[in-house]
Chain A
Amino acid sequence: MEIQNNRKELMVSKIKNGTVIDHIPAGRAFAVLNVLGIKGHEGFRIALVINVDSKKMGKKDIVKIEDKEISDTEANLITLIAPTATINIVREYEVIKKTKLEVPKVVKGILKCPNPYCITSNDVEAIPTFKTLAEKPLKMRCEYCETIIDENEVMSQILGANNK
């Protein structure tokens, strides 16, 4: 029993200040970091809990980032691959804000336009920008060439084609 408690504590121990992203679909914790642009060399202390039991979801992932409060804009990007996620901002071990996730209206610089003849695929300064046309099912349009992408395309770009 004691061992189990220690194990549980290790998995869910509180952070003093920062962000806790909970209820991420199992296996997508790395993708959440990817969406947030966190590569690991930024200096944040990060805890990843992957494939942990969840009453609500069966299995889930959790990401904890110490000393970084993610913005609403960053939080909304997470909806692209983890619409079930909940985001808590923590200060002095207390949750001071629960961020409500909304699909972002515009996504800039994260998704690539699949059209090889789009200017964003051919000019270093043209940043791919997608506007959300519909949330469920997700439908986004390239602001330059107007190519439409769907949830599958978004998922495969962020998660990687072999990791859907």
Chain B
Amino acid sequence: MKHIISAYNFSRDELEDIFALTDKYSKNLNDTKKILNGKTISVAFFEPSTRTYLSFQKAIINLGGDVIGFSGEESTSVAKGENLADTIRMLNNYSDGIVMRHKYDGASRFASEISDIPVINAGDGKHEHPTQAVIDIYTINKHFNTIDGLVFALLGDLKYARTVNSLLRILTRFRPKLVYLISPQLLRARKEILDELNYPIKEVENPFEVINEVDVLYVTRIQKERFVDEMEYEKIKGSYIVSLDLANKMKKDSIILHPLPRVNEIERRVDKTTKAKYFEQASYGVPVRMSILTKIYGE
């Protein structure tokens, strides 16, 4: 494994190794082999981020590595008009790996063609966010001890959410029983992503129709700016809020995930239920990313 650009870069065996490593790292984040000792990793976030940026930094530090980088392009030469290719060449000289977030689709793939050190995609536009998908399925596996045979529902903006693309793709490494795709017509998942999937999917609009069958409800934010007609948004937004009522209609052992940040798409009252696993999911950010780095740089 070298570059991580897409969720497709992970095989099932690699994911299972990552699950086992993450279990180990979760027990004690600091007592690990310092596999990044003597190495410097660039954490280059051309777009600001909280969780992903900090969790990668912490993961690198825990593995004994040094971190250089930036979050937001304002303080970089990009603000002066430097192109991505030149920035990558510079990072290539200063470090042993590049963790990169960028606003444009396909930016990580382009960077990987220029770089001769590993590039890890930490989110490229609306395209993919593969390491988030590993966190998502790790959380699911932790709860159910399996991914196979579960019924999933992905809810919200399925068209522009990069975490959805990566989750749908990483699920091809397993055998989900069924994946419901719950969204307004306007925000349906991209056909080119769906065409490649090897498991059953069903597109629905009303979450109440299927919620009692679902094991994992994966919620994304519906972004107001995606709607041309504000009235349309106002009409739709209410039907895609996870209310306590909706949560209570789920199966007893079912869980709710969200890649965060959350705005108002999950009612705060749901946080107190046993189904709410999104903060636990976020807590796996550091150990999962440590495991991924370990797989890249060798145990």
Which residues from chain A sit less than 8 Å from chain B, CB to CB? 115, 117-126, 141-148
Contacting residues, chain B, for A125 (C-beta < 8 A): 83-85, 110, 114
Given A119-B104, A119-B109, 4 more contacts at CB 8 Å? A115-B105, A119-B102, A126-B85, A146-B192
Which residues from chain B sit less than 8 Å from chain A, CB to CB? 83-85, 102-107, 109-110, 114, 124-127, 191-193
Closest A residue to B190 by beta carbon equals A146
Known contacts being A118-B104, A122-B104, A124-B83, is A143 close to B109, with CB within 8 Å? yes
Rounded to whole angstroms, the CA-CA distance of A121 and B107 in the bound complex is 11
Rounded to whole angstroms, the CA-CA distance of A144 and B103 in the bound complex is 13
- Whether A119 pairs with B83 at a CB distance below 8 angstroms is no
Q: How far is the CB of B233 from chain A (nearest CB, A)?
A: 21
Rounded to whole angstroms, the CA-CA distance of A121 and B106 in the bound complex is 10
- Whether B105 pairs with A117 at a CB distance below 8 angstroms is yes
- Whether A144 pairs with B83 at a CB distance below 8 angstroms is no
Question: Which of B83, B105, B107 is packed against the most chain A CB atoms within 10 Å?
Answer: B105
10 closest A-B pairs by CB: A144-B106, A145-B105, A145-B106, A125-B85, A119-B106, A119-B104, A119-B107, A119-B110, A148-B192, A126-B110
Q: How far is the CB of A118 from chain B (nearest CB, A)?
A: 5
- Whether B192 pairs with A118 at a CB distance below 8 angstroms is no
Question: Which of A115, A117, A119, A147 is packed against the most chain B CB atoms within 10 Å?
Answer: A119
Q: How far is the CB of A126 from chain B (nearest CB, A)?
A: 5
Contacting residues, chain A, for B109 (C-beta < 8 A): 119, 143-144
Known contacts being A145-B105, A148-B192, is A117 close to B125, with CB within 8 Å? yes
